[in-house]
Structure 1
Amino acid sequence: MFGALVVSAGLAITACGDAQEVTVVDRPDTTSVNTNYVSNRAPLAPSSFVKLPVGAVKPEGWIKEYLVRQKEGLTGNLGEISAWLQKGDNAWLSKDGKGAWGWEEVPYWLKGYGNIGYILNDPKMIAETKVWIEGTINSQREDGNFGPLRGGDSLDYWGNMIMLYCLQSYYDQTQDQRVIDLMTKYFKFQLTVPDNKFLSSYWQKNRGGDNLHSVMWLYNRTGEPFLLELAEKIHRNTADWTSRGHSLGKIKNRKHKRDNVAEWPLWYGDQIDWHNVNHAQCFREPAQYYLLSKDKNHLKAAYENFDIIREHFGQVPGGMFGSDENSRPGYDDPRQGIETCGIVEQMNSDEHMLRITGDPFWADHAEKVAFNTYPAATMPDFKSLHYITSPNMVLCDAANHAPGIDNSGPFLMMNPFSSRCCQHNHSQGWPYMVENLWMATPDNGALAAIYSASTVDMKVTDGKSVKLREETNYPYEEQIRFSVETAEPVKFPLYLRIPAWCSKAKVSVNGKPIGAKAVAGKYVRIERKWNDKDKVTLDLPMELSVDRWAKNHNSASVNYGPLTFSLKIKENYIKKASDETAIGDSKWQDGVDTQKWPSWEIHPASEWNFGLEYDAKDLAKSFKVVKRAWPKSNFPFTHEGNPISIMAKGQRVPDWKIDEDGLCGELTDNPAFDGQTQEIELIPMGAARLRISSFPVVK
């Protein structure tokens, strides 16, 4: 994948006319530097794309509806529910770093909560965010350290890594110099810590890439040389995500293999860690360090990390991989799942990788995860969530499903109090995606990076302000309409990503075709003098496709454009008391009315054990796409709101049942079908909280 996707082919196609230049490019040209937004400063490798300040992009359509539901749901109310977010005796609000409550939970939650407040311009959320920001700034001590004191002689820096994201978002909004001062003083403190006491414990050692990101963020704003020395130190002390061939002892995550796996496979030594969130979050660290080292082997290692886990545990639809908690040899069926933390960290990593490499693959992948896997991890009202979400998942209850999944406890039901990491960390997924819908380019232009209805106010060319408006119901619609709002004509390049799945994309400007072929997996760059009310139309015709997972019993998944489809299973929701079904480490504040925050089991109310029957040579004959009106709720990720179905043919597999672990039975090589062909309905994965997404195939 690295060779095909990272090496740029340069400018491939040019068409000129009407004072308009159109080129089709693999990557942006980084020989120039954006002068309107903070980009990578030498000696760092140049920025491929530049993140805009939080709040520059305003969501519309379904993605705005998601943020509103988060605000009114668990994200917006967690400060009054979670024990870790109570202000009394909280180490994040303590000058000496001591308190009963204080680790990752506050900054995990604040990453999303604060940014939703900034994006929606919500005064209450912004004011609440500032309480925690002020407490964090005031917690800095004489030695430069800040936040909770954890870890004894070898301090724990992990919680601070997350809070640095929150401080950067706050700085975007306020330009408060105290953020720069705090980070400068803190990083000088980190430089004094001996290597043998720096990033020495498990979580922070794996996740040093987040510390590295913040050091580079600050360097790009101050140019302080000591920050490059610290960047070297962080990489040196972070788990080596470039390395291969480890002994089992070197791999520090909890390890387990299935009884029928005789020996630990050699390939298991090719990753330093197999914890699902660590991998989704940390596989990118070598690419982050590449910005300083400029060693392409570091960039290559990040791509290889992504590939390795998917080769062995990711032969499933939806963009993720089957770890549950930790990837275990012998457990690779599509019933294995991913933490909600792992989902949102993967989306964040994809967005980082897009900005670092310029590779459109990462935007494609962010869409795949966001549209197909993430929506099913939460209830539609965003008031409770899963710990584990799987491509094949036919029962969500409060039972213990270990060892079928790598967690003992009620990890499959929807519960607002369970799984304290995901309970707080889920909040970043949608707001971070909103912030990365648009990016600035090295040549002072604009990139429509990830597609969703939105507007963006940004500076182009020599600092001129423009507003770009994007109207669409994508990924449920094939057309995306852009319009330009500008007080005066302004010349700048507009980049449009052509998804790899789309072979027949078309682009027009003010109703006229651009005169160059839009190529899948590349960017169309349109440079012209733009006038107020100019319009650009991007047509992305969606086609049916089937993925065959050769390493997973040759099972099949059905796609329509960027959407993957699941069997429609009737869902029976059963309300449960959250304080009776939550996992053991759940803690909520005294006086919380848990009845207002119920949990839900979801049981199947229709047959689910179907195999797929289709003609690979004639997909149009095998599958009928049915489209309906856009939902009045502006929310398509439910059975009721879903506007697209696929009618297909299937046969039941009578022996495919819920097994002894209470999970969807595993796929087999030669299932026995009942021979009775039936019509079945498929709906998008994101709309299906119970689902079969990877089907056995009728031969």
Structure 2
Amino acid sequence: MKAIGTLLPLIGLALAQTGLAPKKYLSLPLGTVKPSGWLMDQLKVQTNGLAGHEHEFYDYVSQTDWVGGNSFYSNLEEAGSYWFNAMVPNGILVNSSAINAKTSAFLSYVLSHQDSTGWLGPEVNTTKPRYLWGRYPFMFGAIQMVEHDPSLTDQVVTALHKFVALANTMLHSGKGVESWTATRWEDFVIVLQWLYDNHPNGKEDLLIDTMKQLKYTGVPWEKVFSAQYFPTTAVEHTPNPFNLPLTWHGVNMAEGLKALPSTYRFTHNQSGIARSWQISFSALTTGELLDLNAASAGWDLLFQYHGRPSGIFAADEYLAGLEAVRGTELCLVVETMFSGSYLYQVIGDPKFADRVERITYNALPATLTGDMWSRQYLQQQNQIAAKNMNPNPFPNDGSYSNVFGLEPNYPCCTVNHPQGWPKFISNAFLTTPDQTSLVNIYLGPFQTSTTLSSSNPVSVTVDTQYPFSDTLTTTITAAKAFTYYVRIPSWVVGGTISINGATAKAVNPSNGLQAVSVGAGTTKFVLNLPAPITTESRPHGSIAVHRGPLHYAFDIARNQTVLTKNSQQPLAVDLEFDATVNWQYAIDPATLKFNGGSPPSTLPSPIFDSGKPPMSITATACPISWAKAGDTFAASPPTSPACTGSQTTIKLIPYGATKLRIGEFPVFKSN
């Protein structure tokens, strides 16, 4: 431990800095980055599914009678706010006039009902307590609308500043904070920083002070994500040292990942200095002073002790360890994707982008039916049934949690999950802070047009079927020369780049980014990004199988039973899935073989469903004794199992296309 005298110069330096520290990269306005190819199709599937229609019939967000203060507006504290945050980018990216009209009307309604104090929400003229958190997703949606349509700037920014002034007064008076606000304060900080960066209106000091009040009245995420306090196993039998159980709540942790990078922007690497009741100067180390170090270390801890081969972590409802039958909430998936994008933009470490891409192409589609009309509350790595479970492996969530339906267990994921794909798309391209360079972070079929510094209009088209192909062809047109960057994922081995038809050369990324010198006019380059099959060690001697960004699993054939059907929308159904084939296999890792070939010119739609992806991995397998708990979930994979029958070959497909699956296998050695 360093002496406090050694730390004082660092503390003084941090205290002397004012304003907001810059991000490593800047996001582009909503609508600047657009999907194409299979990715546009995926977003259209979402729009044609539950996400694009729930406002027509679903009680929590039905829009039949706003004037009377219906459930949609009255649920601004969660449901309406979630829906708005998700459907603003969804509607704009697919150019849906129907959805855009709904989100525009909702924005107008909320802003026109702001009361004289500045409060936004249905608590006006009621006895309902006023808590700050439920407004934050609405604010994210409003900001996205302003980015897409600058004519909305004055009314949105004016309303936000009025609310900030009120919130600042409330926070100084000890009001507006309950357990959810205390954990999700970082979302409001990001809103405040958007105002500070773009529309401060002379209120810089108030904005900074409000950021500080949010941090100092909220959960100390620098401690929650520290090695000293971080839980290394499922937490249902572990006392929470903060006496705040919601700090280990999965979605709160997913959102809390943004806390320390957002804090860094106004503390300039201070952490906890104003929290005299939680941490003394004598307890500080250099590492504890650095918000960005703590953010990065906390990310690693989360996935080390609770991570999944699908890219995400487990929490059902709270952190759930490494066992393959424990659950991961859909809200947690999309919030982690958003937090990972923000972490990359602030810190610039490619590990964040790598994981967000894995989550997006694996965990997100796996927890929705292919047509995206039904979703789970909790997904499992080894999921042999989707049904009302008895016994129930989830200590804090209901037995219905892994059913695919309209609102199994809790309704939040129904209204929140649609933000996943649109925000992934919107964050796929960034610029450097000086706006001289464009950076392609997430790989897939995209197109974008923007104007860089020195009046340099640039357009980019990425033609690819990635992650269902290793090849990406990028065409760039620019008025002036500039340096373009594209991320080379960490799993790539033997990657090459060919620029303007020249001989392909090995990629040589720096900090995960390949620099490409682009001249005035048109530049075209082709990336080939192959990856070997790799295996990941999992509990009980089991393994998971990967190639590139995709995790591969055994797709268990299933039958389907309709449990319930919504009376207003017959496509919104609750579905039970039961296995119709044996799933108790061990595999020999030495026999894994990738079967890719040339993907078809057009991928099937929807791509994330059984039999649809054009590639697979085969493995030599043998049947084994593998117990079930009741008839609803698999026991832990047996260690060093004996074969109970003849060897056979099984096919593994991308995890996101499976709905029943084995993703963590026992192993054996074949003949």
TM range (shorter): 0.7 to 0.9
Question: Is the Cα contact below 8 Å between 1:624 and 1:648 reproduced in 2?
Answer: no
C-alpha offsets along residues 651-682 of structure 1, whole Å, 9 cap, x if unaligned? Answer: 2222x132137212222434343263221111
C-alpha spacing 1:405/1:537, structure 2 compared with 1 (3 Å)? farther
C-alpha spacing 1:384/1:272, structure 2 compared with 1 (3 Å)? closer
C-alpha offsets along residues 545-577 of structure 1, whole Å, 9 cap, x if unaligned? Answer: 11112xx12311111111110013212222222
Partner of 2:11: none
Task: Verify: 1:407 aligned to 2:428, yes or no.
Answer: no
Task: Verify: 1:71 aligned to 2:41, yes or no.
Answer: no
Q: Following TM superposition, by how much is the alpha carbon of 1:528 offset from its aligned partner in structure 2, in angstroms?
A: 3.7
Partner of 2:214: 234
Question: Is the Cα contact below 8 Å between 2:91 and 2:99 reproduced in 1?
Answer: yes
**Partners of 1:272 and 1:80 in 2: CA distance:** 33
Task: Verify: 1:563 aligned to 2:550, yes or no.
Answer: yes
Partner of 2:310: 318
3-state SS of paired residue (1:566):
strand
3-state SS of paired residue (2:222):
coil
C-alpha offsets along residues 368-415 of structure 1, whole Å, 9 cap, x if unaligned? Answer: 101111111111111110111111111001345534453124111111
Identify which of 282, 301, 306 aligns with 1:308.
301
C-alpha spacing 1:449/1:122, structure 2 compared with 1 (3 Å)? same
Give the TM-score taking structure 1 as reference length: 0.83
Per mean C-alpha deviation after superposition, the further-off stretch among 102-111 and 420-429 is: 102-111
Task: Report the RMSD for the aligned CA atoms in angstroms.
Answer: 3.0
Task: Verify: 1:574 aligned to 2:561, yes or no.
Answer: yes
Amino acid at match of 2:193: M
Number of residue equivalences: 623
Identify which of 517, 528, 532 aligns with 1:539.
528
Identify which of 473, 485, 499 aligns with 1:481.
473
Identify which of 13, 28, 32 aligns with 1:56.
32
Give the fraction of aligned pairs with identical amino acids, expressed as a percent.
23
C-alpha offsets along residues 397-436 of structure 1, whole Å, 9 cap, x if unaligned? Answer: 1345534453124111111243310010011000001101
Q: Following TM superposition, by how much is the alpha carbon of 1:473 offset from its aligned partner in structure 2, in angstroms?
A: 0.3
Task: Verify: 1:141 aligned to 2:151, yes or no.
Answer: no
* Structure-to-structure mapping, 1:385-396, within 5 angstroms: 385-396=375-386
**Partners of 2:74 and 2:486 in 1: CA distance:** 49
Task: Verify: 1:445 aligned to 2:455, yes or no.
Answer: no
Partner of 2:5: none
Partner of 2:280: none
**Partners of 1:352 and 1:191 in 2: CA distance:** 24
Structure 1 unaligned regions, length at least 5 = 1-40, 258-263, 580-591, 616-620
Partner of 2:639: 669
**Partners of 2:18 and 2:457 in 1: CA distance:** 27
Question: Is the Cα contact below 8 Å between 1:98 and 1:148 reproduced in 2?
Answer: no
Task: Verify: 1:685 aligned to 2:639, yes or no.
Answer: no
Q: Following TM superposition, by how much is the alpha carbon of 1:307 offset from its aligned partner in structure 2, in angstroms?
A: 2.3
Identify which of 195, 198, 203 aligns with 1:218.
195
**Partners of 1:504 and 1:271 in 2: CA distance:** 46
Question: Is the Cα contact below 8 Å between 1:91 and 1:99 reproduced in 2?
Answer: no
Amino acid at match of 1:376: A
Q: Following TM superposition, by how much is the alpha carbon of 1:530 offset from its aligned partner in structure 2, in angstroms?
A: 3.1
Question: Is the Cα contact below 8 Å between 2:179 and 2:246 reproduced in 1?
Answer: no
Per mean C-alpha deviation after superposition, the further-off stretch among 437-446 and 558-567 is: 437-446
C-alpha offsets along residues 238-272 of structure 1, whole Å, 9 cap, x if unaligned? Answer: 211111599x9999xx9622xxxxxx489999997
**Partners of 2:349 and 2:230 in 1: CA distance:** 32
Q: Following TM superposition, by how much is the alpha carbon of 1:541 offset from its aligned partner in structure 2, in angstroms?
A: 1.2
Partner of 1:463: 455
Q: Following TM superposition, by how much is the alpha carbon of 1:232 offset from its aligned partner in structure 2, in angstroms?
A: 1.0
Partner of 2:464: 472
Q: Following TM superposition, by how much is the alpha carbon of 1:485 offset from its aligned partner in structure 2, in angstroms?
A: 3.0
Partner of 1:33: none
Task: Verify: 1:636 aligned to 2:625, yes or no.
Answer: no
Question: Is the Cα contact below 8 Å between 1:91 and 1:148 reproduced in 2?
Answer: no
Identify which of 116, 128, 138 aligns with 1:163.
138
Partner of 1:24: none
**Partners of 2:589 and 2:441 in 1: CA distance:** 34
C-alpha offsets along residues 80-103 of structure 1, whole Å, 9 cap, x if unaligned? Answer: 111122335659958xx9975442
Question: Is the Cα contact below 8 Å between 2:72 and 2:80 reproduced in 1?
Answer: no
Identify which of 416, 422, 430 aligns with 2:421.
430
* Structure-to-structure mapping, 1:584-599, within 5 angstroms: 592-599=567-574
Question: Is the Cα contact below 8 Å between 1:456 and 1:468 reproduced in 2?
Answer: yes
**Partners of 1:521 and 1:651 in 2: CA distance:** 42
Identify which of 290, 296, 307 aligns with 1:297.
290
C-alpha offsets along residues 201-233 of structure 1, whole Å, 9 cap, x if unaligned? Answer: 111110111011000000001333211111111
**Partners of 1:148 and 1:249 in 2: CA distance:** 38
C-alpha spacing 1:70/1:666, structure 2 compared with 1 (3 Å)? same
3-state SS of paired residue (2:247):
coil
C-alpha spacing 1:192/1:661, structure 2 compared with 1 (3 Å)? farther
